[in-house]
Chain A
Amino acid sequence: MKEQLKIDFNKIKEVSNFSNRDIEIKKSYLNKFIENGFPNRKQENWKFLDINQIISNNISDLSFYNDYSIENKIDSSIFIDDLEHNKIIFINGRIEKIDFSYEDKKQIEIIEDSYTNDKSENNNSLIDLNIALSNKHSKILIKKGYSFKKPLIIYHLTNEKMKSKNINLRLDFELEQNSTLKLIDFFSDDSEKNFMNIFYNFNLDKDAILKNYKIDKSLNKNLKYSFNNINQKQNSISETFIFSAGSDYFKNEINCNLKGEYSSAFINGIFSLDDNKQHEIRTTINHLVENTKSYQLIKSVLGKNTKSAYQGRIYVDSKAQKTDGYQLSKAILLDETSEFNAKPELEIYADDVKCSHGSASGSLDDNSIFYLMSRGLNYKQAKGLLINGFLLDVIEKITDAEIKDLLKKMIGLKK
């Protein structure tokens, strides 16, 4: 893999127009990645699902170079029709189209940033890989007081041309004071055996609101990793919703730093898995100042040979008095071969706090099934009804009515 990485990195270097300084930075991250390799189960964060092993089992000849000069055809049938929206379209990792037709263009800036400004400190080798190999570092800036009129959908599309490739995407979002962004990440794949590594960095200034919905619904055999880093100032709100179902492997990681008073973070997630899928959500909420709030709700429905994992960590600094932190994870195991893992973690250094977590897992309740069947439903309908009810709970947490409706339709909770 090492040799492959070096060869591919040189190719990227030749075709790109990075400054020398950027190349140097990228190189240092590459070396860091080469040293550490893909994370494995020996690392606490990767205990439940070992990506190193999963990659080597699924993709034998992973290559890291993508040719971004060739244009891809956009298949418009994939677009979401029910909702007026702005678009950013990625096909095979290449930006094909940016369309902000519903917005005031003066209020939004798209900046090609330099890696020299990148000061991200981490011990996550996938982030190292991302910084080393991603071909662009774009930043979307939303100016003071501007609210997106329509949601922005980022389409992550792949076509059959791609195989055994690693794609690294990097986007930064800067939300200035009192601005609002509704962002949907929509995944749809026509390829298989690729590894996608997505890194978003959000900076929320005072009173800013971010709503991020990640929808991975279409079935595919790709492996995905997504990392959201969210920094929040005073009074800001972030809401993240994850619908995790389609890919063979998907790990969503959210790191949220509540740096301003009265800021809050909400994370809600659904795993709806079948047929050998292995998904994970890992969250870290750092309560760093007084009067901050976080709320997390994760539910899993697990079919044959599936595995889901939820690792949630709430950290409360000794300064962060009056913190309110809550975590709940629930799972329904439908098959003998399904597996649910949870590690809800609290790390608390302040005394005037309200923190709690709960976790429950089990099979469908026989009594409820019996009740519904005695009312004339067959077993399949009864099961479906119970599962829908179980998941609806999470969907109802979505604060945007339009998007809530869209999701209900997508998942089949509403016609």
Chain B
Amino acid sequence: MDTREKDIENLKDYKYGFTTDIENIKAPKGLNENIIKFISNIKKEPKWMLDFRLKAFERFKLLKEPDWQKPKYPKINYQDLYYYSAPKSMKDKPKSLDELDPKLLETYNKLGIPLQEQARLNGIAVDAVFDSVSVATTFKGELTKHGIIFCSMSEAIQKHPDLVKKYLGTVIPTTDHFFATLNSAVFTDGSFVYIPEGVKCPMELSTYFRINASETGQFERTLIIADKGSYVSYLEGCTAPMRDENQLHAANVELIALDDAEIKYSTVQNWYPGDENGKGGIYNFVTKRGLCKGKNSKISWTQVETGSAITWKYPSCILKGDNSIGEFYSIAITNNHQKADTGTKMIHLGKNTKSKIISKGISAGFSDMTYRGLVDINSKAKNSSNYTQCDSLLMGNKCGAHTVPYIKNKNFDSNVAHEATTSKISEEQLHYCQQRGLNPEEAVGLIVNGFCKEVLQQLPMEFAVEAQKLVGISLEGSVG
């Protein structure tokens, strides 16, 4: 058994292993009303929250698992999953970096992630001097000064019930599709952000700093509210490869931008993609939706998707307020046996709304990549416009790249433009780079980074540098 498999084996042990630790409470397997009540009870949630969950569960029972997507996966037995388990205690976690998979460490080094961070990512206790708790505390102080609320979802339900009650489920209702509804019923934790009126958030918010909810489990729920005239940039995930024990991830992310507010949401996802033969890996079935509720509001999604065995998500914008803007920038890279079906939905409801979609897909190895998007211009959305560009790059003839855009224009005042191309890296470009002394892998890295540049530019500075390296690493071994 190679080290990687051993590693996965170990992870499995965690999942089903029996621990005597009192702190580690696990709900029994299965999905039923009692489990939901159990989750709600253990989190000491108010009655309205439990009702919210039960309502979603009622609905869930009526729904069928969708099957129209391109990547197929073995049937999931929803009764065979754990829906609640408390965060692991220190005892279960690796004691030092030496216990980790060397391949993982190698990638960390290539990305240039500091040792301290490497340890933190794997839940290893960090020594006191570098304790990130203190860093987080400093940030917390700064945020409180501006009246910004940034905490875990469970905390928000306890401390800011009015806000949660007012906004939770308004963008992704409990009656939404299969996975979103499942999440509404059983979500365990996630992030909550509220930016008060007129406040420009002084720093990039990131789950990274919100350590009290470092383990949010497979059903994450995030809610971000930007009140009138505010601005926030939120980062999710990190470039470092994440090993997660849960195979299915069905998170819900809701964004709400009121009048003149702007939300920028950036994701870098590098979860376990399975091995070279397509064994294992995470299913990333996430529902992300933003509502431009107020006038002149703006929501911008940026994503760099390199991990997961199957990525299946469509971060969307509902442009309800007049003059609102929606943007979507995406890089999706699939290698080996990875599969991705991703894209966006731009739903124009208000007048003078604008949206822009830039999607770059790169597939290599035996992978399959699909861009699926919807641009829907309602008859009331006068004078709105959309521009879509989706480009795909293929490496080798064992992979596939597909583009499935849906365009619905019901307004004669509006303009919709869509462009898509599919090509491979040209021999000339490769030859030119190699002539200048780059080896083939470096040359491909350079060309691919140029291909992705438009999207990488949208990422916050510190992220962009790492993401650029990540793009190169993800394609390793695909040249030749």
Contacts and interface: CB of A to CB of B under 8 A. Distances in A.
Interface string A210-242: 000000000000000000000000000000000
Nearest to B392: A348
A253 interface: no
Interface stretch (B45-53, B409-417, B460-468): B409-417
Contact of A349 (B400, B404, B413, B419): B400
Nearest to A320: B397
Contacts of B394: 348, 350-351, 353
A327 B379 CA distance: 26
Contact of B403 (A333, A345, A352, A362): A345
A280 to B, nearest CB: 13
Given A346-B422, A348-B392, A339 B410 contact: yes
B420 A333 contact: no
A359 B405 contact: yes
Contacts of A352: 397, 424
Given A351-B424, A355-B422, A362-B415, A341 B407 contact: yes
A231 B421 CA distance: 26
B423 interface: yes
Interface string B387-401: 000001011111111
A209 B195 CA distance: 66
B408 A341 contact: yes
Given A341-B409, A343-B405, A318 B398 contact: yes
B18 interface: no
Interface string B245-282: 00000000000000000000000000000000000000
A354 B404 CA distance: 17
A310 B392 CA distance: 22
B428 to A, nearest CB: 13
Interface residues of B, number: 34
B421 A350 contact: no
A357 interface: yes
A353 B423 contact: yes
Nearest to A315: B402
A356 interface: yes
Contact of B415 (A337, A350, A361): A361
Contacts of B6: none
A394 to B, nearest CB: 19
A285 interface: no
A336 B401 CA distance: 36
B419 A356 contact: yes
Interface string A274-304: 0000000000000000000000000000000
A229 B423 CA distance: 28
A390 B424 CA distance: 33
B130 interface: no
B424 A339 contact: no
B413 A346 contact: no
Given A350-B397, A361-B409, A345 B404 contact: yes
B254 to A, nearest CB: 27
Interface string A319-351: 001000000000101111111111111111111
B413 A360 contact: no
A347 B405 CA distance: 12
B32 to A, nearest CB: 30
A358 B419 CA distance: 4
A351 B415 CA distance: 32
A36 interface: no
B16 interface: no
Contacts of A334: 412
A4 interface: no
A84 B447 CA distance: 57
A362 B400 contact: no
Contacts of B419: 356-358
Contacts of B420: 344, 346, 356-358
B397 A351 contact: yes
A343 B400 contact: no
Contacts of B401: 346, 348
A3 interface: no
Contacts of A341: 406-409
A44 interface: yes
Contacts of A340: 407-409
A279 B421 CA distance: 27
Nearest to B395: A351
Contacts of A348: 392, 394, 400-402, 422
Given A336-B411, A342-B407, A348-B392, A321 B417 contact: no
B418 A351 contact: no
Nearest to B371: A346
Contacts of A347: 400, 402
B418 A359 contact: yes
Nearest to B382: A336
Contacts of A44: 68
Contacts of A344: 403, 405, 407, 418, 420
B409 A345 contact: no
A359 B417 contact: yes
Contacts of B68: 44
A363 interface: yes
Nearest to B407: A342
Contacts of A360: 415-418
B402 A333 contact: no
Identify the interface centre among B399, B413, B416: most chain A CB within 10 Å of its CB.
B416
A363 B397 contact: no
Interface in A64-100: none
A355 B421 contact: yes
Given A343-B404, A343-B407, A346-B403, A333 B422 contact: no
B423 A354 contact: yes
Contacts of A333: 409, 411-412
A355 B394 CA distance: 12
Identify the interface centre among B400, B403, B415, B422: most chain A CB within 10 Å of its CB.
B422
A353 B400 CA distance: 12
A350 B395 CA distance: 9
B362 to A, nearest CB: 11
A339 to B, nearest CB: 5
B452 to A, nearest CB: 18
Nearest to B406: A343
Given A336-B412, A344-B418, A356-B421, A361 B404 contact: no
Contacts of B397: 318, 321, 349-352
B71 to A, nearest CB: 14
A337 B378 CA distance: 11
Contact of B416 (A318, A345, A350, A362): A362
28 contacts: A333-B412, A338-B410, A339-B409, A341-B406, A342-B406, A342-B418, A344-B418, A346-B420, A347-B402, A348-B400, A349-B400, A352-B397, A352-B424, A353-B394, A353-B422, A354-B422, A354-B423, A355-B422, A356-B420, A360-B415, A360-B417, A360-B418, A361-B407, A361-B409, A361-B415, A362-B414, A362-B416, A363-B414
Given A340-B409, A344-B418, A350-B397, 19 more contacts: A333-B412, A335-B412, A336-B411, A336-B412, A341-B406, A341-B409, A344-B420, A345-B403, A348-B394, A351-B395, A352-B397, A353-B423, A355-B422, A357-B418, A359-B405, A359-B407, A359-B416, A362-B414, A363-B413
Going nearest first, the 4 A-B pairs with the smallest beta carbon separation are: A333-B412, A362-B415, A351-B394, A359-B418
Interface of A: 44, 318, 321, 331, 333-363
Interface of B: 68, 379, 392, 394-424
